[in-house]
C-alpha cells in the first residue's frame, strides 16, 4: 500500500484535548511500533517531535487497509509531544503553521470538557483537518476488548446491549460537538471528510481503533493538505525546547519543517538579549538519540536535537535561521530582531510594531500597576496559550515573562495580586525564599487548567 511521493513531506500532527482524556496514552500507542522496532532497550531520551515512518504505519494498518485499499504516499507522520507542555499550547507556537493535522481526544464517558472546547476553537481558527479519537471505549460497560484490532472488528464481538450503550454514549458526544459547530460522523459512515470531521472510537489501553486512526491521518493529509505538505527548499525551522545538559552544553529540540540542516551550518538564533550566531556542532536524529556523533545532514520534515555552543538563552518558540553564503545577514538580523522585539515588547507592555498575534495577547494585560498576576511560561507559544486561558477564566494579568523566572520577575510580582503563575518553568530555592519574604505566592504547574484552579483557591483563602 506504500507508494512514496518524493515531493511530499511528513505532516505535523498535534494531539489535543482535555486533561486525562488520554492524549499521552494515544501518542504512546502511535509511537509504539517505532519504539519497538528501532530502539532496543526501550525508552531513550524523549524528543519533542517524533517521526512515525510510513513503513510502520503500513504495517499497523495492513488488515484495515484491505478494505480501503488506500495508497500511502507521505513519508510518515511527525507527532509533536513536548513533555510537560499541554499539547494544545504547541499549536500556538510562533508561526503557528506547525500543526498540519490533529487528533482531538475526547473521553467517551466525560464528553466535551473545557479544554476540548478550547481545542476545537483553535482547530477551527486554523482550519486544520482533524479526527476525533473517542477514547476509552474499553470502559463501556460489558465491553469485550480485542487487542489492537480495527474498531469494526471489535464492535462485531460485542453483545447487542453493549453496542447500544456505546452508541448512546457516542450520540451524546455527537450532540455536544454539534453545539460547537462540529458535524462529527463516525468515520465508517463518513461520506464527506471535508465537511464532517471523522470520529474514531479508540482505546489507548487495548489499542482498539488505533489502526483506524493511523490510516485516517495519512488519508486526511493526502486528501486535504496538498500544497501545504509539498516540500520546499527554504529552511523553516522552529525551536521547540531549549535545555542545558551536563557535559553536553546547550541543546535545542527543533522541528525542521522544510529544507535541510547540515553539521557545521552557521545559524542565527533569537535570545532575549538579541540575535546570536553560532554553529551547529552536532545533529541528533530523534530515531537515534544514543548516537554521540550524530548525523551530517537532516531534511524536513523531521524532529531533531541540535547541539550548539552558547545557545542556552534561545527563546523556545522562535525560528532558527541558516546563514548561507548568499544570506543578507543584516536583513536576517532585522527579521530575528522583530521576532525578539515582539517577545520583549510583549513583556514590557505594547509598542506599535508588535505583531498582530501578540497584540491580542498584550490586550490581556490589565492597565495600571495594581492589576493582576505575574505569568511566566516556558515559551512564547505556551505563554500565549496560558494568557488565552486566563482571559477566558477572567483572571487579570499584570506582567509576564518567558523562561525560568529571575529576581526581577519576582519583584514584578510583588505588586498587584502578589502571585506568580509558573507554567512549565523551574524556580530556584533562593528565589522561592525571596518570593516568600516579599509575600508573593508561587503557583507552579504543568497543566494550565490546574494553575487556574489553584489560583481561584488562593483567592478564596485570601478572602477568608
Which does residue 163 bind out of Mg ion, ligand GDP, none, counting CB within 5 to 8 angstroms by kind? none
> How many residues make contact with ligand GDP (CB under 6 A)?
15
Set of cell numbers at residue 419: 502571585
Which does residue 25 bind out of ligand GDP, Mg ion, none, counting CB within 5 to 8 angstroms by kind? ligand GDP
Nearer to ligand GDP, 145 or 258 (CB): 145
Closest approach of ligand GDP to the CB of residue 448, in Å: 12
Residues 187 and 391: their CA atoms lie apart, in Å, by 35
Closest approach of ligand GDP to the CB of residue 443, in Å: 19
- 41 burial (CB, 10 Å; 0-12 / 13-18 / 19+) is exposed
Applying CB under 5 A, does 44 fall inside the site for Mg ion? no
Residues 89 and 421: their CA atoms lie apart, in Å, by 16
Closest approach of ligand GDP to the CB of residue 183, in Å: 24
Applying CB under 5 A, does 415 fall inside the site for Mg ion? no
- Name the closest residue to ligand GDP (Cβ): 22
Applying CB under 6 A, does 22 fall inside the site for ligand GDP? yes
Nearer to Mg ion, 196 or 445 (CB): 445
Closest approach of ligand GDP to the CB of residue 15, in Å: 8
Quick one: which of 4, 5, 24, 366 contacts Mg ion (CB under 5 A)? 24
Instruction: Mark residues 178-207: x for contact with ligand GDP by CB under 6 A, - for none.
Output: -------------------------xxx--
Nearer to ligand GDP, 23 or 412 (CB): 23
Residues 209 and 193: their CA atoms lie apart, in Å, by 18
Closest approach of ligand GDP to the CB of residue 421, in Å: 20
Nearer to ligand GDP, 137 or 440 (CB): 137
Nearer to ligand GDP, 120 or 254 (CB): 120
Give bridge partners of residue 423 from the DSSP assignment. 377, 445
Applying CB under 6 A, does 85 fall inside the site for ligand GDP? no
Please write down the HEC assignment for all residues of the chain.
Answer: CECCCCCECCCEEEEEECCCCCHHHHHHHHHHHHHHHHCCCCCCCCCCEEEEEHHHHHHHHHHHHHHHCCCECCCEEEEECCCCCCHHHHCCCCCCCCCCEEEEEEECCCCCCHHHHHHHHHHHHHCCCEEEEEECHHHCCCCCCCCCCCHHHHHHCCCHHHHHHHHHHHHHHHHHHHHCCCCCEEHHHCCCCCCCCEEEECCCCCCCCHHHHHHHHHHHHHHHCHHHHECCCCCEEEEEEEEEECCCEEEEEEEEEECEEECCCEEEEEECCEEEEEEEEEEEEHHHCCCCCCCCEEECCEEEEEEECCCCCECCCCEEEEECCCCCHHHHHHHHHHHHHHHHHHHCCCCCCCCHHHHHHHCCECCCCCCCEEEEECCHHHHHHHHHHHHHCCCCEEEEEECCCCHHHHHHHCCCCCEEEEECCCCCHHHHHHHHHCCCEEEEECCHHHHHHHHHHHHHHHHC
Instruction: Mark residues 33-62: x for contact with ligand GDP by CB under 6 A, - for none.
Output: ------------------------------
Quick one: which of 4, 24, 243, 299 contacts ligand GDP (CB under 6 A)? 24
Q: Nearest-CA neighbor of 199 among 209, 207, 208?
A: 209
Which does residue 405 bind out of ligand GDP, Mg ion, none, counting CB within 5 to 8 angstroms by kind? none
Residue 70: strand, helix, or coil: coil
Site for ligand GDP in 121-150 (CB under 6 A): 135-136, 138-139
Which does residue 22 bind out of ligand GDP, Mg ion, none, counting CB within 5 to 8 angstroms by kind? ligand GDP
Closest approach of Mg ion to the CB of residue 85, in Å: 9
> How many residues make contact with Mg ion (CB under 5 A)?
2
Nearer to Mg ion, 106 or 440 (CB): 106
Applying CB under 6 A, does 20 fall inside the site for ligand GDP? yes
Which does residue 155 bind out of Mg ion, ligand GDP, none, counting CB within 5 to 8 angstroms by kind? none
Applying CB under 6 A, does 19 fall inside the site for ligand GDP? yes
Give bridge partners of residue 384 from the DSSP assignment. none
Nearer to ligand GDP, 21 or 216 (CB): 21
Nearer to ligand GDP, 88 or 364 (CB): 88
Q: Nearest-CA neighbor of 34 among 47, 49, 22, 51?
A: 51
Applying CB under 6 A, does 82 fall inside the site for ligand GDP? no
Quick one: which of 8, 13, 21, 254 contacts ligand GDP (CB under 6 A)? 21
Residue 37: strand, helix, or coil: helix
Nearer to Mg ion, 409 or 424 (CB): 424
Residues at the contact surface with Mg ion, assessed by CB under 5 A: 23-24
Residues at the contact surface with ligand GDP, assessed by CB under 6 A: 17, 19-25, 135-136, 138-139, 203-205
Amino acid at each position: 500500500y506504500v507508494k512514496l511521493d518524493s515531493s511530499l513531506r511528513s505532516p505535523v500532527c498535534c494531539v489535543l484535548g482535555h486533561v486525562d482524556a488520554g492524549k499521552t496514552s494515544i501518542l504512546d500507542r502511535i509511537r509504539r511500533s517505532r519504539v519497538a522496532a528501532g530502539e532496543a532497550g526501550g525508552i531513550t531520551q524523549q524528543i519533542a517531535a517524533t517521526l512515525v515512518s510510513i513503513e510502520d504505519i503500513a504495517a499497523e494498518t495492513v488488515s484495515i487497509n484491505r478494505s480501503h485499499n488506500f495508497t500511502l504516499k507521505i513519508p510518515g507522520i511527525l507527532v509533536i509531544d513536548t513533555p510537560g507542555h499541554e499539547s494544545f499550547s504547541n499549536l500556538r507556537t510562533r508561526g503557528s503553521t506547525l500543526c498540519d493535522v490533529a487528533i482531538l481526544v475526547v473521553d467517551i464517558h466525560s464528553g466535551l470538557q473545557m479544554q476540548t472546547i478550547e481545542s476545537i476553537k483553535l482547530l477551527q481558527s486554523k482550519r486544520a483537518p482533524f479526527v476525533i479519537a473517542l477514547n476509552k471505549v474499553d470502559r463501556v460497560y460489558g465491553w469485550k476488548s480485542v487487542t489492537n484490532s480495527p474498531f469494526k472488528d471489535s464492535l462485531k464481538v460485542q453483545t447487542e446491549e453493549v453496542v447500544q450503550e456505546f452508541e448512546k454514549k457516542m450520540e451524546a458526544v455527537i450532540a455536544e460537538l454539534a453545539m460547537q459547530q462540529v458535524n462529527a460522523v463516525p468515520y465508517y459512515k463518513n461520506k464527506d471528510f471535508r465537511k464532517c470531521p471523522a470520529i474514531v472510537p479508540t482505546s489507548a489501553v487495548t489499542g482498539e481503533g488505533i489502526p483506524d486512526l493511523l490510516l485516517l491521518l495519512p488519508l486526511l493529509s493526502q486528501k486535504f493538505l496538498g500544497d501545504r505538505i509539498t516540500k520546499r527548499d527554504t529552511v523553516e525551522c522552529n525551536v521547540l525546547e531549549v535545555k542545558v545538559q551536563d557535559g553536553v552544553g546547550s541543546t535545542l529540540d527543533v522541528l525542521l519543517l522544510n529544507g535541510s540542516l547540515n553539521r557545521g551550518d552557521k545559524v542565527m538564533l533569537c535570545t532575549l538579549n538579541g540575535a546570536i550566531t553560532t554553529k551547529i556542532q552536532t545533529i541528533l536524529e530523534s530515531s537515534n538519540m544514543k548516537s554521540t556523533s550524530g548525523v551530517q545532514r537532516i531534511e524536513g520534515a523531521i524532529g531533531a536535537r541540535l547541539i550548539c555552543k552558547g545557545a542556552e538563552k534561545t527563546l523556545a518558540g522562535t525560528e532558527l535561521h541558516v546563514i548561507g553564503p548568499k544570506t543578507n545577514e543584516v536583513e536576517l538580523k532585522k527579521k530575528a530582531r522583530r521576532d525578539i522585539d515582539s517577545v520583549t515588547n510583549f513583556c514590557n507592555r505594547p509598542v506599535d510594531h508588535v505583531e498582530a498575534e501578540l497584540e491580542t495577547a498584550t490586550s490581556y494585560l490589565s492597565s495600571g500597576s495594581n492589576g493582576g498576576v505575574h505569568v511566566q511560561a516556558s515559551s512564547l507559544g505556551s505563554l500565549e496559550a496560558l494568557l488565552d486561558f486566563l482571559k477566558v477564566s477572567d483572571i487579570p494579568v499584570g506582567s509576564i515573562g518567558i523562561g525560568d523566572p529571575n529576581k526581577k520577575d519576582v519583584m514584578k510580582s510583588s505588586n498587584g495580586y502578589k502571585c506568580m503563575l509558573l507554567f512549565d518553568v523551574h524556580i530556584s530555592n533562593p528565589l522561592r525564599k525571596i518570593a516568600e519574604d516579599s509575600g508573593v505566592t508561587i503557583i507552579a504547574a504543568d497543566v494550565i487548567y490546574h494553575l487556574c484552579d489553584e489560583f481561584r483557591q488562593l483567592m478564596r483563602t485570601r478572602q477568608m
